[in-house]
Amino acid sequence: MDKSKKSYGLFTTIAMIVGICIGSGIFFKSDNILAATGGSVPLGVLVFVLSATSIVFGGLSMSELASRTDRPGGTIAYYEEFSSEKAACGMGWFQIFVYFPTIAVVVSWVVGIYICILFGWPGTLQNQILIGFAYYTLATAINAVSAKIGGGFQNFTTVSKMIPLIIVAVCGIFFGNPAKGFQSVSTGTLLGGTWLAAIGPVAFSFDGWTISTTIAPEIRDSKKNLPRALIIAPLIILVTYVAYFIGVTSLLDPKKIIALQDAHVYVVAQQLFGGFGAQLILIAVILAVMGTANGIILGYIRLPYAMALHGRKMFPFSEKLSKLSGKWGMPVNSAIFCYVIMLFWTAVHIYTTQNNLLPNSDVSEISIVMSYLFYIILYFAVFRLFRERKIKSKFRGVVVPVIATLGSLFILSGGLQNKLFPLYALFCIAVFAAALLFYRRRSTDVKE
């Protein structure tokens, strides 16, 4: 890439990673974290720290790959260049059919949860889903026809999302009772391992850090600045999340937060500022959640288009999905394809929620956990570069990918606490395997 296009410095790169990662998860996952830890704040903080560590070393591993290629595309491009095109096809399918749509559907559903609270509407699953459905339909339509409008809304919500986090953190730590949730943790609780179920919600809150690798070709001196950003940004996110987590549990008893579930944000705000102030805070939270969903959809609807550009061997319906709309110059066919997949996952989400098949969890958490399993392939690629003497430092070529792999296994252990995890994991692996089979057959057809 031409040097004139390398427009992002260290500060901007850090800000972009923080902006991508800090979103909606911390608002509606705090109660899930406390439910998993039995109301223990120290255990929740421990899971935050361990998850952040795995992300830092995962980011350092990814930066080793990013520094060796100028190709855009982030993780999929790294699979293609440092593993194989076939593996890139598998990861692309996983992201298109499972990862992005499940997160988009769940976050849009949370938009419905908070809008029901704001307007005092009955918080039934039907109402929440209908609002969520309306929102992701609107977001998909807008992003499919106008990159400018979708991007502008994204910039606006990035600023608004920090307001409630900072207010609750500062008020809780300075005016609340931080010692309230810091009761001693029994050995039985630690050895029982049920607290590991908190890893899923925490991983959801941190998710998005790999998206930062897609801007690697545009970062000035990326060999130095990207690794620095991938260390500093997760630490900023960690401090912000832990401060909010301690702040909210200082203002409201952890057991009450568990009982209130997602409504605890409104109750805390009401306690601090009264009814009108609470509504303003809740509006800021809604904007943050909307921004997260919009950002996911903004990136998601371009994925089938990007895969289709590789040709028939990477994705079905390549001829149609690789076309841009003559009127808007946007990948409208790709957006419609993604919308249909989101409809499917909406039905799955309704079924699993109604039947309580994923207690204290949802369909998106397992998708995120599974993505860490697939990242291990890239961490091994870093180790292979060390063996080929393309990476000379033992720390960067051995220690970093080993700790990143252990971090992925730690996050994977959180998924194992879910009773449906084995079945869901098999489904994710089946999607990956189907992509490999499709690639092999289409590659043979192309050669013939």
Please give the pLDDT value at position 426: 92
Please give the pLDDT value at position 324: 80
Average pLDDT over all residues of the chain: 84
Is pLDDT of 191 > 70? no
Please give the pLDDT value at position 140: 93
Please give the pLDDT value at position 327: 72
Please give the pLDDT value at position 148: 60
Closest CA to 283 of 137, 173, 157, 169: 157
Give 279 or 69, the one with higher predicted confidence: 279
Please give the pLDDT value at position 133: 98
What CATH number should be reported for the domain holding residue 204? Answer: 1.20.1740.10
Please give the pLDDT value at position 315: 87
Q: Would you say the C-alpha torsion 262, 267, 269, 274 has a positive or negative sign?
A: positive
Model confidence band, residue 32 (pLDDT cutoffs 50, 70, 90)? confident
Per the structure, the count of domains in the chain is 1
Give 135 or 51, the one with higher predicted confidence: 135
User: Which residues lie below 8 Å from residue 413, measured CB to CB, with a gap of 6+?
Assistant: 196, 199
Tens of pLDDT along 59-84? 889 888 887 877 766 788 889 899 98
Give 190 or 320, the one with higher predicted confidence: 320
Please give the pLDDT value at position 77: 83
Give 194 or 392, the one with higher predicted confidence: 392
Please give the pLDDT value at position 166: 85
Least confident of 104-113, 181-190, 401-410, 437-446: 181-190
**Is 360 in contact with 406 (CB distance < 8 Å)?**
no
Is pLDDT of 147 > 70? no
Average pLDDT over residues 354-382: 90
Is pLDDT of 362 > 80? yes
Is pLDDT of 190 > 70? no
The pTM score is 0.84
Residue ranges making up the domain that contains 57: 3-447
Is pLDDT of 188 > 80? no
Model confidence band, residue 221 (pLDDT cutoffs 50, 70, 90)? confident
Please give the pLDDT value at position 446: 54
Tens of pLDDT along 156-170? 666 667 778 888 888
Give 253 or 72, the one with higher predicted confidence: 253
Is pLDDT of 3 > 50? no
Model confidence band, residue 24 (pLDDT cutoffs 50, 70, 90)? low
Model confidence band, residue 8 (pLDDT cutoffs 50, 70, 90)? low
Average pLDDT over residues 180-207: 70
Is pLDDT of 7 > 70? no
Average pLDDT over residues 302-317: 80
Model confidence band, residue 1 (pLDDT cutoffs 50, 70, 90)? very low
User: Which residues lie below 8 Å from residue 3, measured CB to CB, with a gap of 6+?
Assistant: none
